[in-house]
Copies of this chain bind each other. A is one copy, B any other.
Amino acid sequence: MSWEENVRRVVPYVPGEQPKEQNIIKLNTNENPYPPAPAVEEVLRTFGTEELRKYPDPTVGSLIGALSDTYQVPADQIFVGVGSDDVLAMSFLTFFHGKKPILFPDITYSFYDVWAQEFEIPYETKALKEDFSIDPADYMGANGGIVIPNPNAPTGLEARRDTIEMIVASNPDSVVIIDEAYVDFGGESVLPLIERYDNLLVVMTFSKSRSLAGSRIGFAMGSKKLIGYLNDVKYSFNSYTMDRLTMAVGCAALSDHAYFLDCCKRIVATREWTKQELSALGFSFPDSHTNFIFAKHKTWNAKQLFTDLKAAGIYVRYFDKPRINEYLRISIGTDEEMKALIDFLKNYQQA
């Protein structure tokens, strides 16, 4: 016997590389190429440092108030966490506490099975169709909960709102989590459905569309009852998760809606240009509604291309997993960055 016998053993999630080198083109973790709203800079320059000696507001009132105004959802239907990973982890812990397996797609955000493992939640994956779309019939059987990213990652493909609604409506005995991390880049949110379905939780993040991956802000919206349970579990984990500076930064980001819309619009434009160029070069991909493209070349080996791009200072993401090991996930950077990628590919020849 040793203390190690009482240890929870897990195989942790491996996040995308955060290279230390400067002057690389970083298209591997779906970050926004543009800085956060100018109001964020203003917060840093004027924040009363002395305030940091005091605990933050555990209810995160200011930020939840700003989210309430932005999304026109009552404050008691909003939950905030340290990035959407924190929101999702808390949601798994709170809502997936039954004995039946939870369901999610086989090709999806690679953290879902990690949380299931961590919290000892039984799970089943449902195979996406050949074209990477979801078959709602897969989510009609007995289950302990459902989680679906929409648009999906890493495919970039979006299910229509009526497909999601069919799944939510057919599962009144399960919480259905729709992870909308990428919805702001031209997707259609299912947020309006929370008024009709008390089992629907919609999760969003400041990391992508609001250029704040470095600040760690995620949030969820759902029925008052769902948010109440989520808060109970959260307050039993850590009362003060959101620090004072981050709260102020989040509010500042929300205050400039025009900047947010413009930023998303620019990324969508760059994405559409990149799609055309990639097609011309022999790539195919699901029609992305996100800030990345999941692309496969007609002849080039994806793993080799990933390595060659990296050697040239261009970082993209490669998943060495069945069904997707011939794809690269390419985040949308600035026009200049995407042009550099396309130029590299135009001159590329695989050995």
Q: Which of A187-195, A229-237, A304-312, A322-330 contacts B (4 or more CB under 8 A)?
A: A229-237
- A173-212 residues with Cβ-Cβ distance < 8 A to B are 173-175, 199, 207, 211-212
Give the most central of A233, A240, A241, A246: most B CB within 10 Å: A240
A120 to chain B, nearest CB (A): 10
Q: Which of B15, B34, B89 contacts A55 (CB 8 A)?
A: B15
Contacting pair B6 A175 (CB below 8 A): yes
Question: With A and B bound together, what is the CA distance between A243 and B217 in angstroms?
Answer: 9
Q: Which B residue's beta carbon lies closest to that of A207? A: B55
Q: Which of B31, B83, B231 contacts A238 (CB 8 A)?
A: B83
A53 to chain B, nearest CB (A): 4
Known: A36-B49, A214-B243. A115 touches B85 (CB 8 A): no
Question: With A and B bound together, what is the CA distance between A32 and B50 in angstroms?
Answer: 10
Question: With A and B bound together, what is the CA distance between A114 and B236 in angstroms?
Answer: 6
Question: With A and B bound together, what is the CA distance between A45 and B246 in angstroms?
Answer: 15
Q: Which of B4, B12, B199, B214 contacts A56 (CB 8 A)?
A: B214
Interface code A102-140, partner B: CB below 8 Å = 1, 0 otherwise?
Answer: 000000000000110110000000000000000000000
On chain B, the residues within 8 Å of A215 by CB distance are 52, 243-245
A142 to chain B, nearest CB (A): 10
On chain B, the residues within 8 Å of A50 by CB distance are 35-36
The yes or no answer to A275 lying at the interface (CB within 8 A) is no
The yes or no answer to A282 lying at the interface (CB within 8 A) is no
The yes or no answer to A293 lying at the interface (CB within 8 A) is no
Contacting pair B237 A89 (CB below 8 A): yes
Q: Which of B14, B53, B82 contacts A241 (CB 8 A)?
A: B82
On chain B, the residues within 8 Å of A3 by CB distance are 95, 145, 172-175, 199
Question: With A and B bound together, what is the CA distance between A142 and B145 in angstroms?
Answer: 38
Contacting pair A7 B49 (CB below 8 A): no
Q: Which B residue's beta carbon lies closest to that of A212? A: B52
Contacting pair A118 B243 (CB below 8 A): no
Interface residues on A, range: 35 or more
Question: With A and B bound together, what is the CA distance between A10 and B234 in angstroms?
Answer: 10
Interface code A70-92, partner B: CB below 8 Å = 1, 0 otherwise?
Answer: 00000000000011011001000
The yes or no answer to A341 lying at the interface (CB within 8 A) is no
Which A residues fall within an 8 A CB radius of B? 1-16, 18, 26, 29, 31-36, 40-41, 44-45, 47, 49-58, 82-83, 85-86, 89, 93-98, 114-115, 117-118, 144-145, 172-175, 199, 207, 211-216, 225, 229, 231-246, 249
A-B contact pairs, 13 of them (CB 8 A): A4-B229, A6-B174, A8-B229, A13-B236, A35-B49, A36-B49, A41-B49, A56-B214, A85-B237, A85-B239, A115-B236, A117-B236, A215-B243
For the complex with contacts A31-B55, A52-B249, A118-B236, 18 further pairs of A-B residues with Cβ separation under 8 Å are A8-B93, A12-B231, A12-B234, A18-B56, A18-B57, A29-B54, A35-B53, A40-B52, A52-B211, A52-B213, A55-B214, A82-B241, A83-B240, A85-B237, A85-B240, A86-B241, A89-B237, A115-B236
